[in-house]
C-alpha cells in the first residue's frame, strides 16, 4: 500500500498579508529615496556663470512670480514695469526692453540688511533714468518680507518665490546675490554676496551697454543650498 507523500503547507493568510505590507513599504521607501536623489542631483545651475566666464551673455531664466511689493515707480517706468505689475504677477519676459537689476534677498538674511541702503540709493538715483530694480524674495514669509521692505524704505518692486526654484535656475548658492540683465533679456553680470557701490555701478553700465561684466565676489552672504 502506497503512503501519500506529505504536502508542504502554504503560508498562513496572515503571514502572506504581512509580507505584502512589508513589500509595499519597501517600494514606497525606494520611491522616496529616488525622489530625494533626483532633487539633490538637480541642484543649482551653473550655466550663467559658465557663460559669463566665456564672455557670453546667456538669456535670463524665465519666471512668473507673485508681486510681493509694487513699490513706487518713477514716470519713466510706469508703462514698461507698471504694466507688468498690473495683474499681480511678473515675468522676466514682460520686462524685456528695460535693463534690470535683479537682487535676491530675504528678511532673515543679515548681509541683506547691509546692502539694502545701497540698493535703495541706486534705485532712487537710476530708476528715473529707466533702470528697473526688482527684488526676488526667497524662502521667506510675506509679512516678514514686507516689514523688512518698510524698515529699509525699499520702494522698488519685489516678487516672491516661497521656495527657491528661481534662485536655483539662476545658479544662486546664497543670498544676497545680484544679477544684471540688459534690455535684450540677457544676464551680463552677477555679484555673489553683498554688492558694493562700485560693483553696482559696473553692473548697471553693463546692463545699459549689453557688454559682459562677468561674475564677481561681493561681501558676506548666506549659503542657502
Which domain covers residue 113, as residue numbers? Answer: 47-223
Question: Per the domain annotation, does 2 fall within a domain?
Answer: no
How far apart (Å, rounded) are the C-alpha atoms in residues 216 and 211? 15
pLDDT band with cut points at 50, 70 and 90 for residue 84: very high
Higher pLDDT, residue 222 or 217:
217
Strands 100-105, 132-138: pairing kind = parallel
Question: Per the domain annotation, does 6 fall within a domain?
Answer: no
Indicate if 56 and 34 belong to the same structural domain. Answer: no
Q: Tell me: the pLDDT tens digits for 116-158?
A: 999 999 999 999 999 999 999 999 999 999 999 999 999 999 9
CATH code, domain carrying 140 = 3.40.30.10
Question: Per the domain annotation, does 184 fall within a domain?
Answer: yes
Question: Per the domain annotation, does 3 fall within a domain?
Answer: no
Question: Per the domain annotation, does 1 fall within a domain?
Answer: no
Indicate if 34 and 109 belong to the same structural domain. Answer: no
Q: How many separate domains does the chain show?
A: 2
pLDDT band with cut points at 50, 70 and 90 for residue 22: low
Indicate if 32 and 63 belong to the same structural domain. Answer: no
**18-31 mean pLDDT:** 52
Cβ atoms of residues 95 and 63 within 8 Å: no
pLDDT band with cut points at 50, 70 and 90 for residue 103: very high
Is a pLDDT exceeding 50 seen at residue 33? no
**111-118 mean pLDDT:** 96
Indicate if 34 and 134 belong to the same structural domain. Answer: no
**What's the mean per-residue pLDDT of the chain?**
87
Indicate if 83 and 17 belong to the same structural domain. Answer: no
pLDDT band with cut points at 50, 70 and 90 for residue 37: very low
Indicate if 15 and 57 belong to the same structural domain. Answer: no
Q: Among 27-31, 62-66, 177-181, whose mean pLDDT is lowest?
A: 27-31
Task: Indicate the DSSP class of residue 59.
Answer: B
Question: Per the domain annotation, does 146 fall within a domain?
Answer: yes
The SS3 call for residue 213 is coil
Question: Per the domain annotation, does 203 fall within a domain?
Answer: yes
Indicate if 109 and 190 belong to the same structural domain. Answer: yes
Indicate if 73 and 21 belong to the same structural domain. Answer: no
Indicate if 96 and 203 belong to the same structural domain. Answer: yes
Indicate if 36 and 67 belong to the same structural domain. Answer: no
pLDDT band with cut points at 50, 70 and 90 for residue 39: very low
Cβ atoms of residues 60 and 210 within 8 Å: no
How far apart (Å, rounded) are the C-alpha atoms in residues 190 and 49? 8
Higher pLDDT, residue 102 or 23:
102
**Whole-number percent of the chain with pLDDT over 70:** 80
Indicate if 72 and 148 belong to the same structural domain. Answer: yes
The pLDDT score that the predictor gives to residue 32 is: 39
Indicate if 76 and 95 belong to the same structural domain. Answer: yes
C-alpha cell at 24: 509595499
Question: Per the domain annotation, does 152 fall within a domain?
Answer: yes
Amino acid at each position: 500500500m502506497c503512503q501519500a507523500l506529505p504536502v508542504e503547507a502554504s503560508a498562513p493568510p496572515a503571514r502572506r498579508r504581512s509580507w505584502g505590507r512589508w513589500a509595499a513599504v519597501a517600494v514606497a521607501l525606494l520611491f522616496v529615496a529616488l525622489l530625494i536623489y533626483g532633487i539633490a542631483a538637480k541642484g543649482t545651475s551653473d550655466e550663467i556663470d559658465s557663460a559669463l566666464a566665456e564672455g557670453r551673455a546667456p538669456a535670463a531664466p524665465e519666471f512668473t512670480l507673485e508681486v510681493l511689493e509694487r513699490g513706487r515707480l518713477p514716470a519713466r517706468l510706469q508703462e514698461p514695469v507698471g504694466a507688468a505689475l498690473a495683474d499681480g504677477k511678473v515675468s522676466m519676459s514682460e520686462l524685456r526692453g528695460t535693463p534690470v537689476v535683479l537682487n535676491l534677498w530675504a528678511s532673515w538674511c543679515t548681509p541683506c540688511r547691509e546692502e539694502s541702503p545701497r540698493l535703495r540709493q541706486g534705485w532712487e538715483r537710476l530708476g528715473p533714468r529707466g533702470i528697473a530694480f526688482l527684488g526676488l524674495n526667497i524662502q521667506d514669509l510675506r509679512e516678514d518680507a514686507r516689514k523688512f521692505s518698510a524698515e529699509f524704505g525699499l520702494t522698488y518692486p519685489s516678487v516672491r518665490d516661497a521656495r527657491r526654484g528661481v534662485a536655483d535656475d539662476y545658479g544662486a548658492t546664497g543670498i544676497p546675490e545680484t544679477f544684471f540683465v540688459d534690455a535684450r533679456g540677457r544676464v551680463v553680470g552677477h555679484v555673489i554676496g553683498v554688492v558694493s557701490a562700485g560693483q553696482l555701478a559696473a553692473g548697471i553700465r553693463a546692463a545699459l551697454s549689453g557688454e559682459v561684466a562677468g561674475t564677481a565676489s561681493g561681501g558676506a552672504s548666506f549659503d542657502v543650498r
